Amino acid sequence: MTGHLIIVDEEADLEWAAGAGRAVTARDYVTHPQRFAEHNLRVVNLSGEYAYLDFGYYCSLLAEARQHRVVPPVAAISTLARKALYAVELPELNAALRKDIERLAVAPRSAFTLVLCFGRSLDGRFDGFARQVFDRFRVPLLRVEVEKEERWQVRSLKPVAASTLTPEEFESFHATLVAYTRATWRVKKAKTSPKYSLAVLWNPREALPPSSPATLKKLVAVGARLGIEVEPIERRDYLRLAEYDALFIRETTQIDNHTYRFALKAEYEGMPVIDDPTSILRCTNKVYLAELLQAKRLPTPRTLVLDRGSVLDAEAALDYPLVLKVPDGSFSRGVVKVADRAELQRSARELLKRSEVILAQEFMYTEFDWRVGVLNRQPLFVSQYMMAAKHWQIVKHEAGGGYDEGRFRTLAVEEAPAAVVETALKAANLIGDGFYGVDLKQNERGVFVIEINDNPNLDRGVEDAVLKDELYIRLLQEFVRRLESR
């Protein structure tokens, strides 16, 4: 049996809680584990006793041990116990709070209190703020004290019991609870009976996505044959993430946007995620990669880190033409070739508006770049990406927002030069055991690592040209392996 389990403090609370699912007391959940042996049980822990080693604390702790999906997770309970622990989240939460306050017709004149329930504000005017809080902590019921010093800010965040609510607050809370359990954690259709579910984060409006819609459709079809439900999700589905067993990110990752938050939340929930937050942190910054590859003595083009005061160091160490890069560019964006000092100074000035430091790199022209796809420390595919017509990069970006891409050729791993594959594996293994695309150049001097991508292209008819469906099978089987080895 699967479904929703609502945990409350007292037997007197069972009646109202039953409207949202199967209701039990915290004491029963803790002391009678044999009654709650279902693997896919969704648990809403509404006990007000979240203090360390109280029944509410044990409910969330044991839910995780029983492989139940629980709100709040025990890590959130521990974090909210001390302001020093959740203070790191306050700058963004305060910004969301102020944004809601700015929308009010009449601003508050003094400190006030908000009650937040499952990402909704019982006040009704602070839902933007409430969603941000729930995104981070996933605590069902919170009381927030808001104060104003120089600016409006959160003074405290405290989980509370439903018994502390006024009758009007309780009525709104109960309606929100019922809506949450019915809509957010919906029961899957029994006719498919998948063993696992995989969420695939994508953006249908992205101009250069890591995977095309046709590729995602293929992944869904292959997953169905393997008994894995593959469902594309978007940014707006953040609150539904815990509904799934694992996450595969197929949207260009950035530290300062929702893709990184999805990866963090998946890791926080104990879900296998490709790629994981650590891989995203490491791969999305070319300065880090340059230092790492140099420290490990892997061959790379000669590279310097520049700031505003050292731009001209590039021409002293490198020959023209040379390449300038912002640390977090992707798909050939934020990368420029300069031919002389004037271009160097002009381009560096523009790029340094985006980052305090940039990279200057030796220019190596080749007819194509090697791309080696690596999954769990093993080569998955090898492709050659040709330069765009009359251009020195594989993607040529036009001023109006259009782009032109070069041709491709995919080889069987065993047909590719051994030095290319071996160098790619050494580079990817410095990052972790996720899914990486290592870009390399090869010339008469040898093989050189250009960069390591944390969510490499995977497109139908391109990277899968040799393995066909087997490529997707291997990828999905890696998720299964991670799920079953937890």
How does pLDDT run along the chain (486 residues), one tens digit per residue? 346 899 998 899 999 988 888 899 998 998 888 888 876 688 999 987 787 777 888 888 888 878 788 899 888 888 888 888 888 889 989 999 999 999 998 888 899 999 999 999 988 899 999 998 998 888 999 999 999 988 999 999 999 988 889 999 999 999 999 888 875 444 334 344 678 999 999 999 998 899 999 999 999 999 999 999 999 999 888 878 888 999 999 999 988 788 998 998 899 888 999 999 999 988 888 888 888 998 899 999 998 888 888 899 998 889 899 989 887 765 446 788 898 999 999 999 988 887 788 889 999 888 889 999 999 999 999 999 887 666 656 665 455 555 566 678 999 999 999 999 999 999 999 999 999 999 999 999 999 999 999 999 999 999 999 999 999 999 999 999 999 987
CA-based nearest residue to 222, from 474, 485, 481, 482: 474
Strands 435-443 vs 446-453: parallel, antiparallel or unpaired: antiparallel
Contacts 24+ apart (CB under 8 A), 105-108: 108/146, 108/148, 108/152
Q: What predicted TM-score, i.e. pTM, was given to this entire model?
A: 0.62
Does the bond joining 275 to the residue before it have cis omega, within 30 degrees of 0?
yes
Q: Which two tokens stand for residue 349?
A: 């000035």
pLDDT at 2: 47
Total number of residues shown for the chain: 486
Q: Which residues contact 297 (CB under 8 A, 6 or more apart)?
A: none
Domains 196-274+477-484 and 365-453 share a fold: no
Q: Which amino acid is at 403?
A: Y
Beta bridge partners of 274: 248
The yes or no reply on domain 82-183 and CATH 3.30.470 is: yes
Backbone φ and ψ for 114, nearest 5 degrees, come out as: -120, 145
The yes or no reply on domain 365-453 and CATH 3.40.50.2000 is: no
CB 289 within 8 A of CB 452: yes
- The domain spans of the chain are 4-79, 82-183, 196-274+477-484, 365-453
Q: Which amino acid is at 271?
A: M
Give, in degrees to the nearest 5, the angle at Cα 47 between 46 and 53.
135
pLDDT at 403: 55
Q: Which residues contact 348 (CB under 8 A, 6 or more apart)?
A: 306, 311, 314, 324, 358
CA-based nearest residue to 297, from 119, 449, 188: 449
d(CA 74, CA 72): 6
Instruction: Tell me which CATH code domain 196-274+477-484 carries.
Output: 3.40.50.20
pLDDT at 189: 41
User: 373 by DSSP, 3-state: which?
Assistant: strand
Q: Which amino acid is at 274?
A: I
Alpha helical stretches, state H, 241-312: 258-268, 277-283, 286-295
CA-based nearest residue to 434, from 280, 268, 209, 314: 280
d(CA 458, CA 408): 13
Beta strand segments in 29-80, E? 42-45, 69-71
Give, in degrees to the nearest 5, the angle at Cα 313 between 307 and 319.
125
Q: What is the CA radius of gyration of the chain?
A: 26
Q: Which two tokens stand for residue 213?
A: 């819609």
Q: Which two tokens stand for residue 76?
A: 């959130």
Beta strand segments in 314-365, E? 322-325, 335-338, 358-362
Is the Cα torsion angle 287, 285, 265, 276 positive or negative in sign? negative
pLDDT at 479: 97
